[in-house]
Structure 1
Amino acid sequence: MAAGRFLEENYALSTQTSSYQTRGSSSADLADWSAPELLEAFARKAVSPVEVTKAVIARIDTYEPRLQALYAFDPDAALRDARASEQRWMSGQAKALDGIPATIKENIATKGTPVPLGTAARPLIPAAEDAPSAARLREDGVVILAKTTMPDYGMLSSGLSSFHPLARNPWDLSKNPGGSSAGAGAAAAAGYGPFHIGTDIGGSIRLPASWCGVFGLKPSFGRIPIDPTYYGRVAGPMTRTVRDAALMMKSLTRPDVRDPMSLPYQDLPWLDLDIDIKGLKIGVMMQAGIGMPLDPEVREAVERAAKALAEAGAIVEEVPAFITREMLDGLDDFWRQRAWMDIAPLSDEDRAKILPYILQWAEGGKALTGAEVYSGMNQMMVMRHAAVAATHRFDFVISPVAPCVAYPAELASPIHNPEEPFEHIGYTVALNMSDQPASSVNGGFTTAGLPIGLQIIGRRFDDVGVLRLSHAWESMCPDRRPWPKL
C-alpha cells in the first residue's frame, strides 16, 4: 500500500474513539499513545518519532527496575532508528508504520542479538538474521526498542526463567504476568510503546494478555509466517487495543519463504473492524472439561459478556466441554519428550543451569516408549477434531482464557507442580491444535483489581472476524480502568 493511502486510512481510524482511550491513549505522555494517533501526529508533523521514542525510553527507565520485562534493551539503537524515521517523515518518504515503538519476544530472532530461549543452558550466539515477524516490522519502519523476556524454552505460563530476571505484572507487582510471552504482556500493559509480538503454542499469547489486561491475538496457524515452525506454534500481536493489533497484522502477515507451513497470503481487510452483532450465533464454553476449577469471578465476567452480547442481538447458546484428560495427558507426554530431546544432549553442567521445574518436567519424557509418544501426538489430532466439531456451527465462541487470574510471581504455574503442568490451559490449547484464531480481550477485573481475560474464538481462518468481535467487545465491556502506573 502506498504511504499516502495508508496515512489517509489511519487518519480516519485515529478520529474514531477507541474504547480504551479512557485507559490512557490520549494521555499527554506520548508513551501511552496508540499507533493510529502517532501516525496521524507524525503525518501532521505535530510529533516526532524521536520524541515518542524518548518518551517510551523514559517510561522504561522508570518502570523496568521493578517490572523486568525486557531483554537486550538498546535505547541508542532505538534513537538512531527513530532519527532515521523522522527524516523519512520530513522528506515525504515515510513507511507504513514508520516510527512506531515496538518490542519483540526473545525467541523471535533479531539480527545480532542472541536467542537464549529463556534458559541459562543455551550459548549466547548472535542471530544471523531477523525472523519473519521482526523483518516485516523493520521493513515498515517500526522502531524496535528491545526483546521481551520468557521462561525456559517457552514452556511455562510464567515469567520465571533461569536466564532472565523474574518478570512481574504491572497491575500488581507481587503477581505473575503469565507466559510464555511474559515480558510482552507486561510491556504492553506498562506502555512500552503500542506494538508487541508474542508467540503461542498452548496459550502463550492469550494467557499473559488475559492476566495483564491487554489484547492478544493467536492468529490462525500459518497466518503469520514464523521461523522455526512447529505444530500449533504461532506469532501474534499483543497490544493495548484491537486496532493497534489490526495495524500490526497488515505487516506481519506478508509472506516469507522460510515458513513452509504458512498460509497463502491474503490481502485481508484488517482495518475494517465494524461488525453487526445482531443475529450472530455465539457459543459460550464455560467449562474446559479438565483442569483447575473455574474461579467464580472469572465465571461472572464471562457470563456478563454473554448477557451483553445477547442483549445486542446475538443468539447465544452453551457449548459443552470437549477436552478430555486423555487428550491433555497425551499432549503433555509428547511435549515432555520433545523437551527432553532438546535437553538430553546437553552436558551435565549445562543441564544443571535449567530451571529445576522445567528440568523435572522434561525428565518425565525420557522413559516414554515410542508407542506412548506416538499416542500422545495422536491425542493432539484428536483434540484438533474435537475443537472443530464443538465450535464449527457457531460464528464465534466465547470462554474464559484461564480458570484463574494472575498468581504469585515466584511460581512456575498456578498449581506449581511439574507433574500437573497444564491444568490451566484447557480453554486455550485446543485452538492451537485446530488452527483456529482466538483472542484474549479484557473482560473486566476482580474485586482485588486483577484483569480477567475473555477469549473470543473464530472459525478456522476467520482472523478478521475475531478482531471485529474483539473490537466490539472493547466498547461494550462495562469495567474499563486506567492503565497501571508504577
Structure 2
Amino acid sequence: MHKKSVEDAVTSLHDLSAVDLIAGYRAKQFSPSEVLEDLLTHVAAWEPHLKALYAFDPDGAREAAKASTARWTGGEPSGALDGVPVTVKDNIATKGVPVPLGAASVKLVPAEKDAPPAARLREAGAVIFAKTTMPDYGMLSSGLSSFHALARNPWDLSKNPGGSSAGAGAAAAAGYGPLHLGTDIGGSVRLPAGWCGLVGLKPSFGRVPIDPTYVGRVAGPMTRTVDDCALMMSVIAKPDRRDGMSLPAEPLNWKGAEKSPRKLRIGLMLDPGCGLALQKPVREVAVKAAKAFESAGSVVTEVDGILTREMLDGLDNFWRARMWDDLARLTPAEQAKVLPYIFKWGASGAKLSGVDVIRGFNQTMAIRAAASKLFCELDYVISPTAPNVNYPADWASPTNDPMKPFEHIAYTVPWNMSENPAISINGGFDAKGFPIGVQIVGRRFDDIGVLGMAKAFEGLRGPQRPWPKPPAN
C-alpha cells in the first residue's frame, strides 16, 4: 500500500532521488529489494535502446539489496547510501570484474579489488548493480566504443550521450536509479551531464581519491539533483592512501545549505578563447543563467576565456603521445581492434618530438596560471558546458575528425588542468526539447561553494521538462 501510494502520488521508485530513497527506507515506506525490482523492470524497458550498461549483475544486486533490506528492517543501516542503486563507470575497478576501458584491445583480467570510490560506495551500503560503458581508453566525448555497443542519448536516440562517461550519462537521464559515478580528465563527467540534462560534478583535483591517478583526472557524481550529488560526494570524498595525489581529508559539510548569490562576483564566459563556435541556443541558455544570478543579487561581468590555441593544441599533442605510449605496447593484432578514430589519433603521436610533447605538457601550467589570475577577481565563473546542442550518436566527437578531436572541450578542460571544481547543471532546452548544460566553476577547493551555487540555480532556472520515457516498442 505504501509503495503504491508513493509511486502514484510522487514518482516511480526508480525515479526517486537517493535522498528520498533513504527517507523512504527509514520510514519503512518501501524496501531496497522493492526499489531494485522496480529498477530492473525499468532497465529492461530502456536498455535495448540505450546500451548504457556493462557487467550488469541483477543477481548480485538482488543479494546486496536483500542484505540491505534486512539491515533496514533491523534499524541498522550500514552507511549513508544503504540500499541505494548505483552504477560505476567501466574504468573504475570493481572487484572480480574486468576493466576493458571501452577498448576491445584491452585484455580482460578481473580486478583484484575495488578502486577507492567504488570501495567507498560499497562500504556505505550502495547496491552496485552494473558498470557503465565508455569509449576506447576514455579519450572520446562519445558513446562509441570498440568493446561496448553504441550508447545513445535517452532524450533523442539519434543523438550522442557524450563521454567519456557515456553510459553513466544515458543511465542517469533514463532513470537507472539516482547515483552514477563517472570520471573526468577534460570534461568526461560534465559533457555527458550537459547533453543528458544532469548534474555532473568535476571535484577539485584530489578531492575524490582514485586509482590509478593522473594529471587532471578526477572521479565525480552524475545525478539528477544537486542534493544527490552532494550526498554522493559525502561518501566518495573519504580518504584512501592508494591515491598519492589526493587532498588531505577535510570534515566538509556536503549537505551544506543553498548558497546565497548576493554580492558574489561572477564572470560570464561565453567565448572560451578557441574551439568550436558557440551555437545560439546554448548562448541563450548561458546568458539566461547569468541573468538569473544577477537578479538574485550577484555582480555579473562578461570575461574573456583563458584557453588559447597553443594551450589546446599542446594538450592534444601531450595526450596523443600518451596514447601512443599505450598503443605502441600492443601487438599488431591488438592494435587492429582499437577504434580506428582513436588509433589514427594516437598513432600521430609517434611523429611528435620530445620537445613537442614537453611543450604540450607545459601548457597545463600555463592554464593553471591563467585560471589563478582569473579567480583573483572573481568568486565563480558561469559558462556553457559545451558549445553545441548535440551531435549524431555514431560520431566519435562533435567534429568527428581525429585530427581536430578536442574543439568541443574548451569550456571544460581548463578546470581539469587548473584543478578547480566545476559543475554542469541543466540550464534549459532547445526548441526541440533537448537539454543544454550550464557550467559553474569555483576557486580551487571550493567544492562546497560550487554545489551551493548549483543548488541556488535549481531554484532560479525555472520549470524542467519531464525525464524521457522508454520507447513504446
- What TM-score comes out, normalization by structure 1 length? 0.94
Aligned partners of 2:242, 2:120: CA distance in 1, in Å? 13
Alignment counterpart, residue 50 of structure 1, candidates 33, 39, 51? 33
Aligned partners of 1:150, 1:25: CA distance in 2, in Å? 35
Alignment counterpart, residue 79 of structure 1, candidates 62, 70, 88? 62
* Equivalent residue number for residue 106 of structure 1: 90
In the alignment, residue 448 of structure 1 is paired with which amino acid?
Answer: K
Tell me, yes or no, if structure 1 residue 249 matches structure 2 residue 242.
no
Given that residues 387 and 408 in structure 2 are in contact (C-alpha distance below 8 angstroms), is that contact kept between their aligned partners in structure 1? yes
Instruction: List runs of 5+ in structure 1 lacking aligned partners.
Output: 1-23
In the alignment, residue 138 of structure 1 is paired with which amino acid?
Answer: R
How far apart are 1:92 and its partner, in Å? 1.8
**Alpha-carbon spacing, 1:26–1:198, altered in 2? closer, same or farther (3 Å):** farther
Encode CA deviations 1:285-322: one digit per residue, 9 max, x unaligned: 01011011000000000111111111111000111122
In the alignment, residue 37 of structure 2 is paired with which amino acid?
Answer: K
* Equivalent residue number for residue 469 of structure 1: 453
Alignment counterpart, residue 14 of structure 2, candidates 27, 31, 53? 31
Aligned partners of 2:435, 2:9: CA distance in 1, in Å? 21
Aligned partners of 1:65, 1:237: CA distance in 2, in Å? 24
In the alignment, residue 304 of structure 2 is paired with which amino acid?
Answer: P
Aligned partners of 1:97, 1:149: CA distance in 2, in Å? 23
Alignment counterpart, residue 211 of structure 1, candidates 187, 195, 207? 195
Encode CA deviations 1:95-138: one digit per residue, 9 max, x unaligned: 22100000000000000000000000011100000000100000
Alignment counterpart, residue 423 of structure 2, candidates 434, 439, 461? 439
How far apart are 1:478 and its partner, in Å? 2.3
* Equivalent residue number for residue 4 of structure 2: none
* Equivalent residue number for residue 389 of structure 1: 373
SS in structure 1 of the partner of residue 350 of structure 2: coil
How far apart are 1:153 and its partner, in Å? 0.2
* Equivalent residue number for residue 151 of structure 2: 167
- Count of aligned residue pairs for this structure pair: 464
Instruction: List runs of 5+ in structure 2 lacking aligned partners.
Output: 1-6
* Equivalent residue number for residue 197 of structure 1: 181
Aligned partners of 1:286, 1:108: CA distance in 2, in Å? 33
Kindly, what percent of the aligned residue pairs are identical? 59
Given that residues 26 and 33 in structure 1 are in contact (C-alpha distance below 8 angstroms), is that contact kept between their aligned partners in structure 2? no
Q: How does 1:150-161 map to 2 (within 5 A)?
A: 150-161=134-145
- What TM-score comes out, normalization by structure 2 length? 0.97
How far apart are 1:387 and its partner, in Å? 1.8
How far apart are 1:220 and its partner, in Å? 0.1
In the alignment, residue 348 of structure 2 is paired with which amino acid?
Answer: G
CA RMSD of aligned residues (A): 1.2
Encode CA deviations 1:1-23: one digit per residue, 9 max, x unaligned: xxxxxxxxxxxxxxxxxxxxxxx
Given that residues 281 and 389 in structure 2 are in contact (C-alpha distance below 8 angstroms), is that contact kept between their aligned partners in structure 1? no
Aligned partners of 2:299, 2:290: CA distance in 1, in Å? 10
How far apart are 1:479 and its partner, in Å? 4.5
Alignment counterpart, residue 52 of structure 2, candidates 44, 66, 69? 69
Aligned partners of 2:50, 2:298: CA distance in 1, in Å? 40
* Equivalent residue number for residue 71 of structure 2: 88
Aligned partners of 2:102, 2:8: CA distance in 1, in Å? 31
Aligned partners of 1:481, 1:165: CA distance in 2, in Å? 28
Q: How does 1:268-347 map to 2 (within 5 A)?
A: 268-347=252-331
Given that residues 91 and 100 in structure 2 are in contact (C-alpha distance below 8 angstroms), is that contact kept between their aligned partners in structure 1? yes
Encode CA deviations 1:459-479: one digit per residue, 9 max, x unaligned: 000000000000111111125
How far apart are 1:253 and its partner, in Å? 0.7
Aligned partners of 2:188, 2:103: CA distance in 1, in Å? 17
Q: How does 1:111-122 map to 2 (within 5 A)?
A: 111-122=95-106
